[in-house]
A and B are shown apart, each in its own frame.
Chain A
């Protein structure tokens, strides 16, 4: 009968892989970075952070805090500031005469002989009303002025949006697109590959025809063509475009794996003991192939993040209201000439860090699941 004390179940593929992965410090580091991004994603998605990214909280092109505020004067729009007395007009023809007159009217006036003249002593008929208007403006203006900061932690863009918040939101867009599209593409590729590789013959021919049609058109061209036609933009659209065109690589890999395994003796043994096709495909073969699919998801996430950024840059990606690193890079292009480098840096560095971490993690994952002597 069943023994009372179950002997320890020896480790299967996943447990062994995890053990190997744990020993690889770089992989662990990369994974930590990826998890950090994912946490950030969840917080951002649920609105806990960066919710108000589109509030114009900074002055336009506000520089990062560690640089210090830009010199005043070139503020565009809506900032009331006490400009002080009007500067002296060097071409004033009455300048010298006024100086003499002041000198004559007494020593205090003489002391201020060089001070610029304010309206030549003519009283402003609208002075009272102007004072009231000015008071009104400065009230709302003051609050507005107080709210618009001169520097933000990593600067602001053209409209005064906080770069850090935009970067976080951009991460959210890219990661969501990357993950969902990668899952979609891998799921399709695996299903098609399994059926084509397992059944072979005319089924394989049909799928191969499908595959060659999709791969005859260069990937980016295909995406652009689809983007051109689908007038409606949105995150969902991009996910569908990337997912429905990106299954080809996975298809080829999984198909080759299924063809290889189908010829292996353990599958023949399964046949001999009477397993049905479905059973052989999904119960017997699939566990031997699942690690390939997992690595593919990882690879596709990286590839799709990069594609999404390019698409958004060109304007074919996310709609105007949504932030993407691509749109940030687009804006950064013009800002660079003006000497404002912070949006470019933020987007580039954030993307580089995420993609590098993910790539390293993918490499380590692949090695952990299928170690070969290097």
Chain B
């Protein structure tokens, strides 16, 4: 086991390096000399020259790359070009709000989708099944933007059930008052694709030979679905949820932007709008690292839930 983990960590290094190089190419080479971007934000030429020197713009590329790597390892990307706040601070403070929305959302979404998928397994092939699937398809076709605009307008603005925007200071306030509508919207949007996927997982299991054996043993359909099938389907479900977590962090950016939730996603959008390179670079690199670690965790968890798998 330790050998496996060590080997995976070792294998992550070239990938990490690849991401670093990719980001570097994008921002330092294609993006070029940031002087003209900075010129629009800071009027002080000395400051601009300082930043250019820090980034080593006038130096050959490999030195620039080395500087970049050093920044990553020391968690010090300097300051945001637009707000002057230290980039590491930016990331750390924005993480909390994102997670306040993300964690309850993931739990609710997964439980709901699994329960519905299992329920559908009972009525597979029937009209209900097809109606639900069509509803999912239509639901998926409406842009998330529309959901956000309409929900925000209707539930918050018109009916006044939730605050239109904003974020508070206390955790409880944030969780129940400010996150409620965003979570509701994200649930509605995320349910359809997850339900479709989980339904496929569940139906794949229902068609397996061991279900036939269970029936031959006289086991009831309910027990078959909730014990036999669920346990097997939970393998791809857990794998899917775990490996998707890093994506959710960024995917919530639209919701964060609309609701002015000071999370990482919103920060990224703002950074892109303002061409705030340090922030974008830092977030990209760290999210990539998080994704890789989550993939490793997913594989380890896979071994824990599936007795057939032996990691070597």
A interface residue count range (under 10 / 10 to 19 / 20 to 34 / 35 or more): 35 or more
Interface residues of A: mostly helix, strand, loop or mixed?
helix
- The answer on a CB contact under 8 Å between B272 and A224 is yes
A 246-301 contacts with B by CB, 8 A: none
- The answer on a CB contact under 8 Å between A213 and B18 is yes
Chain B nearest CB: distance from A308 CB in Å? 10
- The answer on a CB contact under 8 Å between A351 and B137 is no
Given contact pairs A225-B23, A333-B149, A218 touches B251 in the complex (Cβ within 8 A)? yes
- The answer on a CB contact under 8 Å between A216 and B15 is yes
Of the candidates A218, A220, A316, A326, the one having the most CB atoms from chain B within 10 angstroms of its own CB is A218
- The answer on a CB contact under 8 Å between A220 and B250 is yes
Interface string of A216-251 (1 = CB under 8 A from B): 111111101111111000000000000000000000
- The answer on a CB contact under 8 Å between B273 and A315 is yes
Given contact pairs A218-B287, A332-B149, A228 touches B275 in the complex (Cβ within 8 A)? yes
Query: Which residues of B lie under 8 Å from residue A332 when comparing CB positions?
Result: 149
A348 beta carbon closer than 8 Å to chain B: yes
Q: Which of A218, A224, A225, A336 contacts B247 (CB 8 A)?
A: A218
Determine the residue in chain A with the shortest Cβ distance to B149.
Answer: A333
Chain A nearest CB: distance from B65 CB in Å? 15
- What separation, in Å, do the CA atoms of A213 and B287 have in the docked complex? 12
Query: Which residues of A lie under 8 Å from residue B145 when comparing CB positions?
Result: 309-310, 313, 326, 329
A212 beta carbon closer than 8 Å to chain B: yes
Determine the residue in chain B with the shortest Cβ distance to A359.
Answer: B137
- The answer on a CB contact under 8 Å between A359 and B140 is yes
A363 beta carbon closer than 8 Å to chain B: yes
B 11-39 contacts with A by CB, 8 A: 14-16, 18-19, 22-23, 26-27, 30-31
Chain A nearest CB: distance from B232 CB in Å? 18
Query: Which residues of B lie under 8 Å from residue A329 when comparing CB positions?
Result: 143, 145-146, 149
A18 beta carbon closer than 8 Å to chain B: no
- The answer on a CB contact under 8 Å between A229 and B269 is no
Query: Which residues of A lie under 8 Å from residue B150 when comparing CB positions?
Result: 344
Q: Which of A209, A225, A302, A336 contacts B153 (CB 8 A)?
A: A336
Interface string of A335-366 (1 = CB under 8 A from B): 01100000010001001111110011001000
A146 beta carbon closer than 8 Å to chain B: no
Chain A nearest CB: distance from B59 CB in Å? 20
Query: Which residues of A lie under 8 Å from residue B122 when comparing CB positions?
Result: none
- What separation, in Å, do the CA atoms of A293 and B15 have in the docked complex? 27
Q: Which of B140, B142, B143, B291 contacts A310 (CB 8 A)?
A: B143
B283 beta carbon closer than 8 Å to chain A: yes
Interface string of B244-278 (1 = CB under 8 A from A): 00110111011000000000000011011101010
Query: Which residues of B lie under 8 Å from residue A221 when comparing CB positions?
Result: 250, 268, 283-284, 287
- What separation, in Å, do the CA atoms of A329 and B269 have in the docked complex? 17
- The answer on a CB contact under 8 Å between A227 and B272 is yes
- What separation, in Å, do the CA atoms of A58 and B23 have in the docked complex? 47
Of the candidates A221, A302, A344, the one having the most CB atoms from chain B within 10 angstroms of its own CB is A221
- The answer on a CB contact under 8 Å between B142 and A351 is yes
Query: Which residues of A lie under 8 Å from residue B153 when comparing CB positions?
Result: 336-337
A215 beta carbon closer than 8 Å to chain B: yes
Query: Which residues of B lie under 8 Å from residue A14 when comparing CB positions?
Result: none
Determine the residue in chain B with the shortest Cβ distance to A228.
Answer: B272
B40 beta carbon closer than 8 Å to chain A: no
- What separation, in Å, do the CA atoms of A315 and B145 have in the docked complex? 13
Determine the residue in chain A with the shortest Cβ distance to B277.
Answer: A228
- The answer on a CB contact under 8 Å between A356 and B137 is yes
B120 beta carbon closer than 8 Å to chain A: no
- The answer on a CB contact under 8 Å between A209 and B14 is yes
- What separation, in Å, do the CA atoms of A337 and B26 have in the docked complex? 39
Query: Which residues of A lie under 8 Å from residue B251 when comparing CB positions?
Result: 218, 220
Query: Which residues of A lie under 8 Å from residue B254 when comparing CB positions?
Result: 310
- The answer on a CB contact under 8 Å between A216 and B273 is no
- What separation, in Å, do the CA atoms of A316 and B253 have in the docked complex? 14
Query: Which residues of A lie under 8 Å from residue B141 when comparing CB positions?
Result: 302, 351-356, 359
B138 beta carbon closer than 8 Å to chain A: yes
- The answer on a CB contact under 8 Å between A209 and B18 is yes
B233 beta carbon closer than 8 Å to chain A: no
Among all A-B residue pairs, the 7 with the closest Cβ atoms: A355-B141, A213-B18, A216-B288, A356-B141, A228-B272, A218-B250, A229-B31
Q: Chain B interface (Cβ within 8 Å of chain A)?
A: 14-16, 18-19, 22-23, 26-27, 30-31, 124-125, 134, 137-138, 140-146, 149-150, 153, 157, 203, 207, 246-247, 249-251, 253-254, 268-269, 271-273, 275, 277, 280, 283-284, 287-289, 291-292
A sample of 7 more A-B contacts (CB under 8 A), given A225-B27, A355-B140, A356-B137, is A213-B19, A216-B292, A217-B291, A225-B284, A351-B143, A359-B140, A374-B203
